[in-house]
Amino acid sequence: MLSEVTAMILAGGLGTRLRPVVADLPKVMAPVVGKPFLTRLLDQIASAGIRKVVLCTGYRADLVEKILGSAYGPLQLIYSAEETPLGTAGALALAAHSSGAINILAMNGDSYCHADLPALWRFHQEHRAVATLQLAQVSDTSRFGRVQLDADDRITRFDEKSSAIGPGLINAGIYCLSAQALANVAPNQSVSLEREIFPALIGHDLFGYSHGGKFLDIGTPDSYQQAEAFFGDSIERPA
């Protein structure tokens, strides 16, 4: 079912907070147990049956393409490089415009969730959603902000980090998007999914999928140090 879906990975971040531990590498290329973090996401995508991936690059885009090339296992890799920072929605709109993608499974390039991607996509289709966010349960949402759902799994509110203390559901950085979700974003417009697109979709078929496993964000040196233990030996491998 996912073979006709295009995966897009937001891989343009500067990784400023990680500079002390990864030097001048893009954040997505930070090594984890001997291989770039980005390849962990590619392994997960390949195992789900997706075969086309657009990498939305920015900082050191040339290095990402030099290391990964045009294929990874069974995956075709296409590059969509931002000349100026476009935000998460702007980067995806640029990539969708250049690739012609309609059905998109997008991922943040600096986080990982042990998610069942085929089940997530089925949920998205069955609910005829404009956008579906993979959610993760964490013990303290204060670093990420909290996502609130109603009884029908519609997202009703995003709580700011300052008010989101204690356990709850967070945005896990994996999104199923219909063409409608990015329809009003111009290819070179700077727009944020998290701050502009998703809040505007509340009440308009925006859903959260709360079935999933462990979550890791490598955005800080402390969380990056947890990556080796997080992955261990249970990594999805390309088929």
Ordered DSSP codes for 100-137? ---SEEEEETTEEE---HHHHHHHHHHTT-SEEEEEEE
Q: What tokens were used for 133?
A: 């966010």
In a domain, 182, yes or no: yes
In a domain, 51, yes or no: yes
Q: SS3 for 176?
A: strand
Q: What tokens were used for 120?
A: 């997530």
Q: Which residue has the higher pLDDT, 187 or 73?
A: 73
In a domain, 62, yes or no: yes
pLDDT at 189 over 80: yes
Question: What integer pLDDT is reported at residue 163 of this predicted model?
Answer: 79
Q: Could you read off the pLDDT of 95-143 as tens digits, one per residue?
A: 999 898 889 999 999 999 999 999 999 999 999 999 999 999 999 998 8
In a domain, 238, yes or no: no
In a domain, 11, yes or no: yes
Neighbours of 20 (CB within 10 A): 8
In a domain, 236, yes or no: no
Q: What is the CATH number of the domain that holds 9?
A: 3.90.550.10
Q: How far apart are CA 128 and CA 122, in angstroms?
A: 10
Q: Model pTM?
A: 0.92
Confidence band, pLDDT 50/70/90 cuts, at residue 236: very low
Q: Which residue is catalytic, options 27, 35, 66, 161?
A: 161
Q: Could you read off the pLDDT of 5-43 as tens digits, one per residue?
A: 999 999 987 657 675 666 677 888 888 888 999 999 999
Tell me if residue 161 is catalytic. yes
Q: What is the extent of the structural domain holding 175? A: 2-230
In a domain, 25, yes or no: yes
Question: Given the structure tokens 């009884």, which residue do they identify?
Answer: 151
Domains held by the chain: number: 1
Mean pLDDT of the chain: 90
In a domain, 84, yes or no: yes
- Rounded to 10 degrees, what is the CA torsion of 66, 71, 77, 81? 10
| Per-residue H/E/C for 142-165 | CCCCEEEECCCCEEEEEECHHHCC
